[in-house]
A and B are shown apart, each in its own frame.
Chain A
Amino acid sequence: MGFSMADTGVVETLLQRIEKVDGGVDSLGVAASLGVDHQVIVGAVKSLQALGDVISAELRSTKHWELTEEGTEIAEQGSHEARVFNSILLEGLPQAELMKLSFGKIGFSKAMSNKWIRVDKSYEGGPRIFRTVESIEDQVREKLLLVKQGNAAQLDEKEKNELKKRKLLAEVTVKSYWITKGSSFSTTITKQEAELTPEMIATGSWKEKKFKPYNFEAMGVAPNCGHLHPLMKVRTQFRQIFLEMGFSEMPTNNFIESSFWNFDSLYQPQQHPARDQHDTFFLSDPALAHEFPLEYLERVKKVHSEGGYGSQGYKYDWKMEEAQKNILRTHTTAVSARMLYKLAQQEKFTPVKYFSIDRVFRNETLDATHLAEFHQIEGVVADKDLTLGHLMGVLHQFFTKLGITKLRFKPAYNPYTEPSMEVFSYHEGLKKWVEVGNSGVFRPEMLLPMGLPEDVSVIAWGLSLERPTMIKYGINNIRELVGHKVNLQMVYDSPICRLDS
C-alpha cells in the first residue's frame, strides 16, 4: 500500500496543520484554505487512519442551506413574479402572450396573490393584465442572494422553509471530519511493514521497523465449495425426524399413478371435484393403466356403488374407464394405499409406521405460494385399536421435533378420512394460530376392502415441504425457491437447516 505523489503532499500538509494547532482542525476548513476539493482531504484522512493512531478523526455532519438549480436561476434573473411584473408595460399585456413566457404561469399566480397585477377579463381582444402598483421589491430574489453569499443565517426559519417549499432552497447535509492528534502522532509518515521476512530476523533489522497490525476483522477469501439446495436440506431433516420416530420410508419413485390407486382405493368418489380436469393432470400418453389386483378392484367398486362393510356407499355407477386413467399423482397417499394393501395381503398383521416425502402434482392456478408441483410429507401408523387421542399424541411428538409445542385441532373434512383434523400451531410473531398440517383416521370403506382386520386403525397426517422451508428461510415467493428461475445465490447463501430452533 503506497501513496501517490499528490496524496503525499496533501497528507503531509494536513499533518503540519494539525501539529500547529492545539485542538483540532475541520476538514472542510482545511480543504477551503488549501483550495482543494473536500474529497481529497477525506482521502488523506482515510489513508492516515490506516496507519494506526497517527490521527483521530471524528465524523461530523453539518447542515447548511444551498440554492437549488431553480433557486440559482432566480437569484440571477429574478423571481418569476418579478419578471412577470417587469414584462408588463404601461399599456398592459394580453394574458395569452404572458402565458407563453417560461415564467408566465407560476409568476402570474404569485404576482396576483401579491396583488402586483390585475386582470381585465372583459378587455377587447382578450383578457389583459395591468400593473396595480408602480414598482415592486423582489424579496424572493434578495433572500436567495443572501443564501448564495453564505449569509443564510440572516433569514429566519419560516422564510427558509417557505423557500424550501417552493423548491428554491435545499438543506444539505455535509459530512466533515474533526481531526485531532492521535496517540502516535508525528509529521512524518513512516511506511509500515506488512511482512516479517527471514532476512529481517537474520539481520536484526526488525527491531527498527514498524509493522502494520493484522486486521482480524477483514473478510477472507471464500473457498470454492459446493452447495445443497435448501428445500432438500429441509427434506433431509424431516427424513431424520421420521427415522428417529421409527417410521420406515415408502417407495415413492413413481410420479405417475392410476386414478384407481390415487382416488378410488382411497374411497374418493369418481364424481369428486378433485378428479376434475381443473385440479388433476391427466396423461394423454400413456393414457390408461391396465394392471390391477382384480378381486380387490371388485370390492372397491362395490363399496363405492352399493356400500357394504357397514357403509351406505355413495350409490352411483362406478366406471372402470375412470379408474384406469393415468394421472400425475396428486398426493403421496396413493403410495400409502399401495403399501396398506400390501400389508393386508400378509398372512398375519404386523403394525407398521410409514412415511414419505416426495413430489406431487396439482393442476391449479399458480401464484406466489402455489406451483404445479410441490413436495408432500406424509406419515402413517397402522395398528390395532388406535384412537384419535393417539393421532394427537403422534402429532405432538412430530411437531415437538420441529420446535412447535402448542397445538390445537379443528374438525375438518377429507373424502378418505373420518374423523379429520386440521392441525394449528400458535405463531408467536403473528400472534395467531396458523394451520400447519392436515390429519385423520382412514375410513373403513378404504381399509376393509383391502383385507385389513376390523380392529386395525390407520392414522395419518400430512403437510407440504415448501411451506415450512419458506418460513424457515424467509422466502416469500415459491418461484424463488423451486424451479429453474431460482437465483443460485440463494442456494449458495442458505444456512444449515436446524428445524428445532
Chain B
Amino acid sequence: MPTVGVKRDFLFKALGRTYTDEEFDELCFEFGLELDEITSEKEIISREQGDSKASGASDVILYKIDVPANRYDLLCLEGLVRGLQVFKNKLEPPRYRRVSPDSGGPQRLIITKETAAVRPHAVAAVLRNITFTQERYDSFIELQEKLHQNICRKRSLVAIGTHDLDTISGPFTYTAKAPGDICFRPLNQTKEYTATQLMSLYRTDSHLRHYLPIIEDKPVYPLIQDSNGTVLSMPPIINGDHSRIRLQTKNIFIECTATDLTKAKIVLDIIVTTFSEYCAQPFTVEQAEVVYPDGKTCIYPELAYRKEKLSAEFINKKVGISESTERIAQLLTRMCLLSQPTGVRDEIEVEIPPTRPDVIHACDIMEDAAIAYGFNNITRTTPPTYTVANQFPLNKLTELLRQDMAAAGFTEALNFALCSQEDIADKLGKTISQTRAIHISNPKTAEFQ
C-alpha cells in the first residue's frame, strides 16, 4: 500500500478543523485509509541515522497515511483533503474543465516515428497562472514521485516531466536519438553531458540508477526538445536543468511519455486535476495538442467525465441495505461521484470524474455507496445457503493417518517445500535430474531453488 506523508497541521488547516489522533484515525478507518504512523522528520532521521544527524531537523508532526493501491487521486495532501472534505459534505466535488488558451493556439508536442522503437506514446497539458508556495511545490514534486512508483511501475510504463513554460518555446518535439547524439545540461548539474556519459554518471546515483535499464540497451534514447533545440528531458531518466520548475514558476508544461497510453492519460489527468486548484482560474487546465507520426492529432488532457446508469435496487440488493433513490444519490456524491436520480423509476445517473480511474464497473460504484453508508452500519445477515459438506478424500485420509501415527509414537514434523539443489541431490548422491524436482527461476536465496 502506498504511504503518503503529510504535515499534520497543514492537513488540519486545509480540512478546516483539528482532530485528535484518535478522531483522525477513526475518520481514516471509515474512509478506507489507515493512519499508519505519527512521527516527525527529526524522529525519522534519528531512527535511521542516529540522534546526532537528527539535530536541526524539523519536528513538525507528520502523519503517514496508507492509501489503497488503486486510488491515485489520494496520493498527496491536496487529493486527501479533497476526498475527505467531499466525504464529510464540507465541499462540493469540483468540476474540472479543459480550456483553450487565451491567445494563440495550444502548445503542440510532435511525436516522430523514431520513438516507436523505444517509447511510442506521449500526452501533454498546461497549467496556466499557477501560484506555488513551498508546501505546494513540495507536494507537486512528491505526487510525481508517488505516481512514478505506483501506476507508472517505476517509470517503466509512464514517465512524467514538468517544465517552466516561460523558459521554453513550442512547438515541442518528442523524438528518439542515438545516445551519442544527445547532449544537454541535466537537472542539478553545471555542465553538459552526452547521454552515454549520463548513463555512467547516474550508475552510482541511489535514486536514478534503477531507471537506467529501461532504455540503456536500446539503439535510441527518448528526447524532448523545444523549437530552439533546448532539451526539456530525456525520459524516463532526467529532465533538463534549463526548464526546471521553481517556486516562482507561473506556467507549467506537463508531458508524460509512455509505453502504455491508457496509463499515461490517467497520470496526466491526476496531476492536472489535483493541482489546477492553484491556478488563477481554479480547476481549469489549458489544452495541448499531440501530433502523431502519421499526422493524427489528439487534444489532451482528456478530463473525461463518464456517465453510468444504475438502479437504486442494484445498490440496495448488493450491499444489503434499503435506502431511497435520493439518499443513494447523496451517498455517491459524497464519494466524488456526482449523482442524480433520473426520475425514471429508481434509476440514478452517476458521473465518474477523471479523478476516479479506479471505477471501472458498477460494482466499484456500489462499494463507494457502501463506504459512504458506513460498512459497520450494515446489518449482518446469515446467507440462507443450504449445503452438505464433503471432505476432500485425500485430506480425510491424511487426518486419520496422522492421528494413528502419533498414537504409534511418531512426532509430526512440518518441513519446507522449498530447498536447495544440494539438499535433494548432491547430499544424497543423486543427480538433480533423477530427482524429478521442479526448479525456481528467481529464488531470493540459495536455500530455495
Q: Given that A239-B399, A277-B442, A287-B441 are contacting pairs, would A232 and B412 also be in contact in the complex, using a CB cutoff of 8 Å? A: yes
Q: Given that A271-B157, A387-B317 are contacting pairs, would A482 and B387 also be in contact in the complex, using a CB cutoff of 8 Å? A: no
Chain A 406-425 residues near chain B, CB threshold 8 A: 408-413, 415, 418-421
Picked from A236, A393, A419, the residue with its CB within 8 Å of the CB of B367 is A419
Contact partners of B134 in chain A: CB under 8 A: none
Chain B 1-59 residues near chain A, CB threshold 8 A: 29, 31-32, 34
A352 at the interface (CB under 8 A from B): yes
Instruction: Name which of A250, A282, A352, A386 has the most chain B CB atoms within 10 A of its CB.
Output: A386
Q: Are B382 and A444 in contact (CB under 8 A)?
A: no
Residue ID in chain B nearest A482 by CB atoms: B414
How far in angstroms is the closest Cβ of chain B from A278? 8
A126 at the interface (CB under 8 A from B): no
Mostly helix, strand, loop or mixed at chain B's interface? loop
Mostly helix, strand, loop or mixed at chain A's interface? mixed
A359 at the interface (CB under 8 A from B): yes
Instruction: Name which of A287, A310, A488 has the most chain B CB atoms within 10 A of its CB.
Output: A310
Q: How far is the CA of A371 from the CA of B447 in the complex (A)?
A: 12
Contact partners of A307 in chain B: CB under 8 A: 360
Q: Are A284 and B378 in contact (CB under 8 A)?
A: no
Q: Given that A283-B441, A409-B375 are contacting pairs, would A390 and B383 also be in contact in the complex, using a CB cutoff of 8 Å? A: yes
Q: Given that A251-B392, A393-B381 are contacting pairs, would A312 and B441 also be in contact in the complex, using a CB cutoff of 8 Å? A: no
Contact partners of B262 in chain A: CB under 8 A: 314-316
Q: Are B380 and A445 in contact (CB under 8 A)?
A: no
How far in angstroms is the closest Cβ of chain B from A224? 6
Q: Are B412 and A229 in contact (CB under 8 A)?
A: yes
Binary interface profile of B, 149-166, with partner A (CB < 8 Å = 1, else 0)?
A: 000010001000000000
Q: Are B412 and A483 in contact (CB under 8 A)?
A: no
Q: Are B378 and A389 in contact (CB under 8 A)?
A: yes
Instruction: Name which of B260, B321, B378, B391 has the most chain A CB atoms within 10 A of its CB.
Output: B378
Q: Are A248 and B317 in contact (CB under 8 A)?
A: no
Q: How far is the CA of A235 from the CA of B415 in the complex (A)?
A: 15
Binary interface profile of B, 317-343, with partner A (CB < 8 Å = 1, else 0)?
A: 111110000000000000000000000
Q: Are A226 and B408 in contact (CB under 8 A)?
A: yes
Contact partners of A273 in chain B: CB under 8 A: 69, 153
Contact partners of B438 in chain A: CB under 8 A: 256, 283, 285-286
Contact partners of B406 in chain A: CB under 8 A: 225-228
Q: How far is the CA of A246 from the CA of B421 in the complex (A)?
A: 42
Q: How far is the CA of A445 from the CA of B366 in the complex (A)?
A: 15
Contact partners of B418 in chain A: CB under 8 A: 281, 361, 372-373
Contact partners of B321 in chain A: CB under 8 A: 389
Residue ID in chain A nearest B369 by CB atoms: A419
A178 at the interface (CB under 8 A from B): no
Q: Given that A282-B440, A284-B440, A411-B32 are contacting pairs, would A389 and B68 also be in contact in the complex, using a CB cutoff of 8 Å? A: no
Residue ID in chain B nearest A459 by CB atoms: B383
Binary interface profile of A, 279-297, with partner B (CB < 8 Å = 1, else 0)?
A: 0011111110000000000
A381 at the interface (CB under 8 A from B): yes
Q: Are B32 and A381 in contact (CB under 8 A)?
A: no
Give the 5 A-B residue pairs with the shortest CB-CB distance, closest first: A389-B320, A387-B320, A411-B32, A284-B441, A419-B367
Residues of chain A whose beta carbon lies under 8 Å from any beta carbon of chain B: 224-229, 231-232, 236, 239, 242-243, 245-253, 255-256, 271, 273, 277, 281-287, 307, 309-316, 328, 351-353, 359, 361, 363, 365-366, 371-373, 381, 383, 385-390, 392-397, 408-413, 415, 418-421, 441, 443-445, 457, 459, 481-484, 486, 488, 491-492
Residues of chain B whose beta carbon lies under 8 Å from any beta carbon of chain A: 29, 31-32, 34, 68-71, 153, 157, 260, 262-263, 306, 317-321, 360-364, 366-367, 370-371, 375-376, 378-392, 394-395, 399, 402-403, 405-418, 438-444, 448
